[in-house]
Amino acid sequence: MPHKLKYAPYITFTLAEWARLRADEPMTLDASDIDHLRALNDPISLAEAEIVYLPLTRLLTFYVEAVQGLHAVSTRFLGHNGAKVPFIIGVAGSVAVGKSTTARILRALLRRWPSSPRVDLVTTDGFLYPNKVLTERGLMERKGFPESYDRAAFVNFLAAIKSGQPKVSAPVYSHLVYDVVPGEKVVVDNPDILIVEGLNILQPGDLPKSGTPIVFASDFIDFSIYIDADEDVLETWYVERFMKLRETAFRDPKSFFTRFAELSEPAAVATAQTIWQNINLPNLRENILPTRSRAHLVLKKGADHAIHEVVLRKI
């Protein structure tokens, strides 16, 4: 049986305890699917996906069914036939922790659930202000911090999704050019489930001194997941990813970071460490890590990139 964290609203599971919650659900992905879904420098295996993410998607389907049942009761009570609204899953955590891999694997597994739900995925990168705006505001060195996002646009996007509006569009971000792509949109058309992945999606934000009512992005998230790892481990992963990009994407002439491609190995490592220490680590400490306790589920990773512990908030 899982052991309980004293004085905390969570239950902690070892990997073996969590894996048993899969019950008899079959694994619907194979090794080639995992190879396709995992991000750069995230060596997740099929076995880990089966042990961690299959029980998680089983839990999520229970949550989705429960919310849909509550919606049906509510519509009967109110005496009208309101259309069901998408269930929103948030995936948060530091740079380089593996949010993208988690979000993509969840989407693939949920899509293959027996009920065949429609599952979409959106990243918050598209809601960053364009580089031109960030430069004008002196925020290029704080890209990824809360103030670098158009938070009002993101909240309006989630509000439209939750109100059941069809064909809601979100801006698209290119990691190659390190900027929002002008005129390019991704359209979310009333899915059963929407997965939203980003650094600061659980942050409540500042309350207005006027006392005016305000809503936050986290108000629209039905189930939130925080991917966790120690700071020194995250720095190592960030540097490793930077070095791999130096040999791949940075060599594309269109890359914003093409100037880093010709750095010597020691200079590249030093550059990556400086970026981590000056930008990503302060953002983690000031804005991202403080939101961990707001998550419904925390997946704790070790230095080997593998998830070693699962912590679930009590209902």
Grouping H, G, I as helix, E, B as strand and the rest as coil, residue 89 is: strand
d(Cα 220, Cα 215) in Å, to the nearest integer? 9
d(Cα 106, Cα 100) in Å, to the nearest integer? 10
pLDDT at 42 over 90: no
Helices (H), 50-137: 54-78, 99-111, 131-136
Please write the tens of the pLDDT for every residue from 182-230.
Answer: 999 999 999 999 999 999 899 876 666 776 767 889 999 999 999 999 9
In DSSP terms, 179 is beta-bridged to 174
CATH number for the domain including 236?
3.40.50.300
The total number of structural domains in the chain stands at 1
Per-residue pLDDT, 7 = 45
pLDDT tier at 5 (50, 70, 90 boundaries)?
very low
Helices (H), 79-190: 99-111, 131-136, 151-162
pLDDT at 234 over 90: yes
- The number of C-alpha atoms within 13 Å of 69 and in the hemisphere containing its C-beta is 6
Domain interval for residue 226: 3-76+84-313
Grouping H, G, I as helix, E, B as strand and the rest as coil, residue 96 is: coil
Per-residue pLDDT, 213 = 67
The percentage of the chain sitting over the pLDDT mark of 70, rounded to a whole number, equals 95
Q: Give pTM, 2 decimals.
A: 0.93
pLDDT at 4 over 50: no
Task: Name residue 178's amino acid.
Answer: Y
d(Cα 207, Cα 221) in Å, to the nearest integer? 19
Could you give phi then psi for residue 161, rounded to 5 degrees?
Answer: -60, -45
Burial class (CB in 10 A: 0-12, 13-18, 19+), 148: buried
pLDDT at 24 over 90: no
> What's the distance, CA 20 to chain centroid?
25
| Element at 95 (helix H, strand E) | none
d(Cα 213, Cα 108) in Å, to the nearest integer? 37
Query: To the nearest whole number, what is the mean pLDDT of the chain?
Result: 91
Determine how many CB atoms are found less than 10 A away from the CB of residue 243.
17
Per-residue pLDDT, 211 = 67
| Structural contact between residues 169 and 160, judged by C-beta atoms closer than 8 angstroms | no
- Which of the two residues, 200 and 312, has the higher pLDDT score? 312
